[in-house]
A and B are shown apart, each in its own frame.
Chain A
Amino acid sequence: GNSVTQMEGPVTLSEEAFLTINCTYTATGYPSLFWYVQYPGEGLQLLLKATKADDKGSNKGFEATYRKETTSFHLEKGSVQVSDSAVYFCALSEYTGNQFYFGTGTSLTVIP
């Protein structure tokens, strides 16, 4: 079956530090992969996505590359800011169905 395994948090970093949040997946077909971000008290917003192997999604300085050989979609940012403090969810979707699978979420706190 399909599943997403995400690095557990919480993660605390100093401003301008490098961020990596690991995400691996299991899928029966050819999924699309997503990172969603949830700021305190809000719903989820799409951060970036990749729809096929070797695609790189990027947005707001965040990047993730769809690696089929390692079934991974790790989120990275070279220099985090206080405003990046949020919960990050890795997710996958297979278009053939209405199934959407979330990781457990990783809470990130960036301190000045």
Chain B
Amino acid sequence: GAVVSQHPSRVICKSGTSVKIECRSLDFQATTMFWYRQFPKQSLMLMATSNEGSKATYEQGVEKDKFLINHASLTLSTLTVTSAHPEDSSFYICSARDFQRERGTGELFFGEGSRLTVL
């Protein structure tokens, strides 16, 4: 079964509002989680690496004030899209590593994804 869960799976909001997406590791502790963005018919783009108890590491070109990441516990990371605009509409996917399950392979476990539509 799923080991990483995202919520909500779909969200529609008005331009200018903020939206929070949650990513939970269900039965393991994830000191690091990753947030990806996926445009239609394209691959995943790593936005940031979320580290429990410290600041997230953002990839070049990703606005940290626009995409706020908080990793307050070992099982929860949140992505908040602040003052959302239509160009922020996208599919956002989180992932995490479960070091016990992956047994050193580096495998990532992905959430179901969250479809954000900004009107």
Extra contacts, 5 of them, besides A32-B105, A43-B112, A95-B105 (Cβ < 8 A), are A31-B106, A43-B110, A45-B110, A100-B46, A104-B42
Q: Would you call A46 an interface residue if the criterion is a C-beta within 8 Å of the partner chain's C-beta atoms?
A: yes
A and B contact pairs by CB, cutoff 8 A, 24 listed: A31-B106, A32-B106, A42-B112, A42-B113, A43-B6, A43-B93, A43-B112, A44-B44, A44-B95, A46-B107, A49-B107, A51-B104, A89-B43, A93-B105, A93-B106, A95-B105, A95-B106, A98-B32, A98-B34, A98-B49, A98-B97, A100-B46, A100-B108, A105-B42
B113 and A100 form a contact (CB under 8 A): no
Within 8 A of B (CB), among A70-112: 89, 93-95, 98, 100, 102-105, 107
> Interface residue count for A (Cβ, 8 Å)?
23
Instruction: Report the Cα distance A105→B45, complex, angstroms.
Output: 12
Binary contact track A29-54/B, C-beta < 8 Å → 1, others 0: 00110101000011111100101000
> Contact residues of B with A, CB < 8 Å?
6, 32, 34, 41-44, 46, 49, 93, 95, 97, 104-113, 115
A44 and B107 form a contact (CB under 8 A): no
* A93 touches which of B46, B108, B111 (Cβ 8 Å): B108
Instruction: Report the Cα distance A49→B101, complex, angstroms.
Output: 13
Known: A98-B97, A104-B42, A104-B43. A32 touches B107 (CB 8 A): yes
Q: Which residues of A contact B113 (CB under 8 A)?
A: 41-43
CB distance from A101 to the nearest CB of B (A): 9
A100 and B106 form a contact (CB under 8 A): yes
* A44 touches which of B46, B106, B110 (Cβ 8 Å): B110
- Best-surrounded residue of A34, A43, A93, A94 (most CB of chain B within 10 A): A43
Known: A34-B107, A43-B6, A43-B93. A102 touches B44 (CB 8 A): yes
